[in-house]
Amino acid sequence: MKYDINILKNNNLPECVMDFLNYLETIKSKSHNTIDAYRIDLTIFFRFMMIYKGFVKDDKIEFEEIDISNINIDFLRDIKLRDLYAFMSFTEKYRENSAYARARKVATLKSFFKYLQGKAKIIIDNPTIELESPKINKRQPVYLTLDQSLHLLQSLDKNDKNYQRDYCILILFLNCGMRLSELCSIQRDKIRNDTLTIIGKGDKERTVYLNEACLKSINNYLKVRNDLKALPVHKKFLFLSSRNSPINKRTVEIMIKKHITNAGLTDAKYTPHKLRHTAATLMYKYGNVDIRSLQSILGHENISTTQIYTHVDDDTLRDAVKSNPLSKL
């Protein structure tokens, strides 16, 4: 048997970056989305460094066309903290990155240079040790209220050929708070009674508990879905597209935008992730769910991520003040 090892290489990236990405995938078990984010961040970083260090002589060359494949060990060892500050300034002023996006790039650089120093043994000094992450103002998550959620579900056209599928997708998002990638990859044999096993971030397996609404919508959809003529390799997936292939993330995004618009809920940009926010908020607000349980339900590695869902509205704050035993004096 012959193996084409060349497909593992990317001639557009420095060898050290490819080694790092392979390390993230094979040893750290990072998701493909995470690896893609690291690849993009490092590509932008090294293209900037090529300009900043004076290696790009053609002033008319497009940023995306700058060749970074020949970056070597000497280049890496010459990178200092001041260069990183210059890069962060570039991402803010020229690429208009938000504090959140810049913080992600700092995390990428810290992880990369830590690997170069500790694992690859390429550099002696790590320039990111003193690199601080931009301060991120806590953003209140955008979510649908209970009434808006009910209105969205009731607004779906029951005569639409994809009604049962779309309704089921919305029900799962709004009740279980799963990620878009998790929903698209649901397999039928992973549904057992009232539990669903899904693969979350970092290929970590977790159990999702299905309530009555979820089970009912899945059963109603399966009555229609079973009639679809999907290829054997595709039949294991729960949600199929109009072409009888596993539904992809973009299709779900377009579908949700369509139903949100049809429901007249256009005041904010509602996405699949905003529906995840909605599920978490409704569970926390109406279900007496503690923060640790919510962390487990959402599949968050760090509880600090879950804490954004503990926001309370003005009515809750007002009621809290009124409940003070001294309020009637």
Confidence of residue 233 (pLDDT cuts 50, 70, 90): confident
183 and 52 inside one domain: no
157 and 298 inside one domain: yes
Instruction: Please state whether beta strands 205-209 and 191-192 pair in parallel, antiparallel, or not at all (unpaired).
Output: unpaired
Confidence of residue 295 (pLDDT cuts 50, 70, 90): confident
179 and 296 inside one domain: yes
96 and 163 inside one domain: no
Asked if the structure places residue 65 within a domain, the reply is yes
Asked if the structure places residue 25 within a domain, the reply is yes
170 and 259 inside one domain: yes
Confidence of residue 267 (pLDDT cuts 50, 70, 90): low
* Cross-strand bridge partners of residue 205: 199
Q: What is the pLDDT of residue 4?
A: 47
Torsion over CA: 31, 34, 39, 40 (sign): positive
How far apart are alpha carbons 289 and 188 in whole angstroms? Answer: 28
170 and 296 inside one domain: yes
195 is in which domain, residue-wise?
146-311
Asked if the structure places residue 151 within a domain, the reply is yes
Higher pLDDT, 19 or 315: 19
**pLDDT tops 80 at residue 122:** yes
- Mean pLDDT for 3-25 is 78
Q: What is the pLDDT of residue 323?
A: 60
- Tens of pLDDT, residues 58-80: 888 999 999 999 999 999 999 99
198 and 241 inside one domain: yes
Q: What is the pLDDT of residue 135?
A: 85
109 and 176 inside one domain: no
Confidence of residue 313 (pLDDT cuts 50, 70, 90): low
Mean pLDDT score of the chain: 87
Q: What is the pTM of this model?
A: 0.68
Q: How many structural domains are present in the chain? A: 2
280 and 150 inside one domain: yes
Domain CATH code at residue 216: 1.10.443.10
Q: What is the pLDDT of residue 318?
A: 57
Catalytic sites, residue numbers: 179, 201, 273, 276, 300, 309
Asked if the structure places residue 19 within a domain, the reply is yes
Higher pLDDT, 108 or 301: 108
